[in-house]
Amino acid sequence: MEWERITGGLCAVKGVRAYGIKEGNNGLALIEGRGKAVGMFTTNKIKAAPVRFTKSQLEAGEGIISAIIANSGCANSFTGENGMRNAEKMAELASSSLGVDKKEVAVASTGPIGRQMDMELIERQLGEVVKRLTSDEMGSMTAAKAIMTTDTFHKERAIRIGADDKERVIIGGIAKGSGMIFPHLCLSSATMLSFIYTDASLDDETLKRCLEDAVDNSFNMVVVDGDMSTNDMVLLVSTGGGGEISEGEFKNGLNFVCKELAKLIATDGEGATKLIEVRAKGAASVEDAREIAKAIVRSPLVKSAVFGERIDLTCGRIIATIGSYTTSGDVDPDSISISIKGEGQRAVLVAKKGKFVDLSGATRDIMKGKEIFIDVDMGMGEREATAWGCDLSYDYVKINAG
């Protein structure tokens, strides 16, 4: 089925309104649009109050969401019972302002851990946001900006699937994330947040399967610094009213939107100067391929070598990482081949069947540019996976030291 990129983010979906404001480090976003909802949440054993609250909301509200209220500047994590009361209060405020059932309001937060919410600020900002809710592109953009923390740009994507009204479906979403990015999200259980809306009419189980597949191939394959947040959350809301679409076609579209948002998060990693994309192929299992790809983009030594534009150091560090992080089965060093490609450059074979290639004629231009692509062929099977990360620069330490 045909599809195309469109503008508007989550407001590209009919019936969705949004707006957000940012005042210094403190922002508030509100999204309105009723529909079936499924969510995936951090597996961190210390879950923030809004994560626990929203999970219970999805169960209590029978999987229906009418609004999402999200703040930046305070994670409301490690805040005890008062944190849960404040998360519930945020839902009550949104419910009262919009005239919707409190059970149908999701809450999300991002910011420093251990700080109590300033509820007077939340209430004041909400009063301003509610008056400006809009279905125009501005709504999605301002909401995406409002939830930014150390992000340097807002993140949104939307696509239209289908060429005519009978099969036309919209998927649009926003995301935030820059640091503390090593998501591991599951259906049951600086932060990664994403809110995605669609007008596709699909049942709950289909939405769950599609979201799980999309997240596993996108957000769960992003590594900025290897630290897992207490607040990671992805919500998918289906408002209905769109055209007919098969599960496979919707899954492909949702995968695309999520991967686009995931790459934006990796590109915007704290202090990042380069996006790193690693494709691990020829693995014995998908699990091995995922683990190898994520391990390479997670390695501080690989990330540092990429920042220094040292192709020679990058190669050896990739090999060491592969040997350290494979999840099952043996690794045959004599089967491993690696190629590296820089932005606007041709791919360079740096290792072939267990032996490094002579790089004396290679130039540092290979590692220049803002995107580095690493292909690792394990030579052990037919499975593959792709992960995204960024280099490790001086600025990452500066940002997280202060």
One domain, residues 257 and 300? no
Average pLDDT over residues 26-50: 96
Alpha carbon dihedral 79, 85, 91, 95, in 10-degree steps, equals -160
Residue 370: is it exposed, middle or buried by C-beta count within 10 angstroms (0-12/13-18/19+)? Answer: middle
Residue 227 has pLDDT above 70, yes or no: no
CATH number at residue 319: 3.10.20.340
Average pLDDT over residues 101-126: 97
Residue 18 lies in a domain: yes
Residue 175 lies in a domain: yes
Average pLDDT over residues 368-393: 94
One domain, residues 49 and 193? yes
CATH number at residue 46: 3.60.70.12
Count of structural domains within the chain: 2
Residue 66: is it exposed, middle or buried by C-beta count within 10 angstroms (0-12/13-18/19+)? Answer: buried
C-alpha 129/C-alpha 96 separation (Å) is 14
Domain, as residue range, for 296: 275-401
Which of 227, 246, 265 is the endpoint of a domain?
Answer: 265
Query: Whole-model pTM?
Result: 0.92
- Two tokens, residue 46: 């210390």
Residue 353 has pLDDT above 90, yes or no: yes
Residue 187 has pLDDT above 50, yes or no: no
Sign of CA dihedral 320, 322, 325, 330: negative
Residue 304 has pLDDT above 90, yes or no: yes
With a pLDDT cut of 90, the percent of the chain lying above it is 77
One domain, residues 216 and 296? no
Average pLDDT over residues 33-53: 95
C-alpha 126/C-alpha 150 separation (Å) is 22
Residues with catalytic roles: 191
Query: pLDDT grade, residue 181 (50/70/90)?
Result: very low
